[in-house]
Structure 1
Amino acid sequence: MIWYARDVVRGGRLRTELKDPVFAPFTALVVIVPMLLGVALGGHARAAGEAVFLVALVLTVALGGWLSGEWIIADLQLAQWHPGYFLPTVAGGLIAAGGSAAFGHGTLAMLMFGYGVICWLVLGSIILLRLFTAPTLPMALRPTIAIEVAPPAVAGNAWFLINGGHLDAISAGLAGYAVLMVLVQLRMIPVYRQVPFGPGWWAYSFSYAAVVTLAVGWLGAEPVPGRTAWIAVLLGVLTVAVVALSIPTVRRLAQGSYLPSTAREPAQRS
């Protein structure tokens, strides 16, 4: 956040960042991440965590509404869309649904679940049309294809929190689509291997963390032999992956090469 904010200020983009067709969707992470932190804090200090979560939820909904309106009136071309467009309303709404359920706000959880799922259906049709029919994403944005696996996984996690961790038709249906998207990710490995390291690689972390969390949820709901060992393996792999992303990120931040100011124009032209 510190490096990103400094990059925006130095680049004179404070007034234009939310209108940028490439980067605007990612600004939603500024308000989405505090929701996750609020839920975690709530496990230790309920009042403080709930306050952080609810403030972040309101900001997430407000930003999602503003960006959706911007996309309606902006002269966007289909080739400018990318899976990052899921973040403001789909990821934001579904994370808000799970967090609301964790704090015991059942009606708010269902409201935000509907908000996130309907946005997923609307935006998902546009984004898949773009991926299926338009030219290949620019190199730096290709890791965002990993975000395609996130909506069913995050929705499944939210639903488990809403229904108390029980398996039902909705959880099974969401898991089925998540399996398809995981298989798609296997096909994408040769594509991802061509991408130089950069901020886009962090798309893998959130997406696959959501999948691991969903897998842990299913292991908890089903009497699977060796369940504890499987959970330990999944969490271990995820932890190693995040460390593997963190080390080069910190190194390049220290070198001043992680957010090169010259990268903005080529990405916009693409």
Structure 2
Amino acid sequence: MAAVRVPPNFFGIPFGLAGLAGSWVVAAGNGNAPSWVGDALLILAAVVWLATTAGYAAYAWSVRRTLVADLLDPVLAPFLSLALITPILLAAQGLTPRNLGAARIVVDVFLVLTVLFGGWITGQWIYGPLDLDRMHPGYFLPTVAGGFVAAAGAAVVGQRLLAVLMLGLGLVCWLVIGSLTLNRLFFRPPLPPALIPTLAIEVAPAALASVAILALNGERIDFFVSLISGYGLLMVLAQVRLLPAYLRLSFAPTFWAFTFPFAAVATTTLHWISYYRPSGHRIYAYLVLAAITALIGGIAVRTVVAAARGQLLPTPPAPTRPQR
């Protein structure tokens, strides 16, 4: 009997939880939240990542060519990168304060794997037939999100040159893939309903680039962070116009596409609040934390409810009867 199918986009669940943990870790570092909340969320994200990875591996082991098919799938393949990117976040945020050497090893191993995957999938997009209409903002994940998360992780564990290299990878890929993605969204038919939540990923690159630069420059809001944040603000405001499309959707696991991008925006906002400390800055920080926790917490609750009803995982194909 084959194991239960765990689709690649399920790796967005631990990725989103790690993003929420990052917001709480930053708030705790600024004195605006207890540190145990971020630690608990990091542990939860790690457990969910392990469970998702084990579930995916079990199915891929029991059903031949699953991994190959997913790697070649123009819609699903980008989400596989999250299996490699998430541990960088977990190690940089959770292991670094406790064991820098172990954190550096984990960051380096998964950074290399992320770059290898990014190189492979970029080559696949060049080599294989690629239909522009099947492109979606999830294409940011392997190289743009991967590059920026790797840059921030390397900076946190003290590897500055490696962090700069990864920042360059993320920035150039953002320019290239961002142009292609917006071209597809502007001028081609709308995304199918199942992929509409990936539109939220458009807010992630600017926020992640800001976080990576902040990790490199000692948490200062400098010229480059300000420059990138201007574009980030535009993309966040663009999400308001997309609300009617979002509100028409029925809940599905793809809603986890909302989680990490907005967690990255929340984390960047917390950095801005902490750096400039406007009047009432603690209240602003609490509001940001409350909003991102409510969003991701609500999606998590709906996920648990769907799982309890047996509606979360895809229905396995019916067995075929042998022909007489």
Class of the TM-score when normalised by the shorter of the 2 chains: over 0.9
Matches within 5 A, 1:64-103: 64-103=118-157
- Partner residue of 1:184 out of 226, 229, 238: 238
Asked if structure 2 preserves the Cα contact closer than 8 Å seen for 1:25 and 1:88, the reply is: yes
- Partner residue of 2:73 out of 12, 20, 26: 20
- 2:304 aligned partner: 250
- TM-score under structure 2 normalisation? 0.78
Distance in 2 between residues matched to 1:261 and 1:59, nearest whole Å? 31
Q: Determine helix, strand or coil for the equivalent of 1:210.
A: helix
Name stretches of at least 5 consecutive residues in structure 1 with no aligned partner. Answer: 264-270
Asked if structure 1 preserves the Cα contact closer than 8 Å seen for 2:96 and 2:156, the reply is: no
Compared CA separation, residues 10 and 253, structure 1 to 2 (3 A): farther
- 2:267 aligned partner: 213
The CA deviation at 1:23 is 0.2
Distance in 2 between residues matched to 1:17 and 1:60, nearest whole Å? 16
Which moved further from structure 2: 208-217 or 222-231? 222-231
Amino acid in the other structure paired with 2:219: G
Matches within 5 A, 1:58-207: 58-207=112-261
The CA deviation at 1:128 is 0.5
Asked if structure 2 preserves the Cα contact closer than 8 Å seen for 1:7 and 1:261, the reply is: no
Asked if structure 2 preserves the Cα contact closer than 8 Å seen for 1:140 and 1:196, the reply is: no
Name stretches of at least 5 consecutive residues in structure 2 with no aligned partner. Answer: 1-51, 318-324
Amino acid in the other structure paired with 1:117: L
Larger Rg: 2
Distance in 1 between residues matched to 2:101 and 2:305, nearest whole Å? 37
Which moved further from structure 2: 66-75 or 2-11? 2-11
Asked if structure 2 preserves the Cα contact closer than 8 Å seen for 1:11 and 1:261, the reply is: no
Compared CA separation, residues 23 and 261, structure 1 to 2 (3 A): farther
- 2:48 aligned partner: none
Amino acid in the other structure paired with 2:70: E
Distance in 2 between residues matched to 1:11 and 1:187, nearest whole Å? 42
Aligned length: 263
Identical residues among aligned pairs (%): 43
Asked if structure 1 preserves the Cα contact closer than 8 Å seen for 2:203 and 2:265, the reply is: yes
Q: Determine helix, strand or coil for the equivalent of 2:311.
A: coil
- 1:37 aligned partner: 90
State the Cα deviation string for residues 65-123 of structure 1 (Å, max 9, x = none).
Answer: 11111111111111010000000000000001111111121111111101000000010
- Partner residue of 1:230 out of 261, 264, 284: 284
Distance in 2 between residues matched to 1:251 and 1:11, nearest whole Å? 28
C-alpha RMSD over aligned residues: 1.6
State the Cα deviation string for residues 189-211 of structure 1 (Å, max 9, x = none).
Answer: 11111122112111111000000
Asked if structure 2 preserves the Cα contact closer than 8 Å seen for 1:17 and 1:24, the reply is: yes
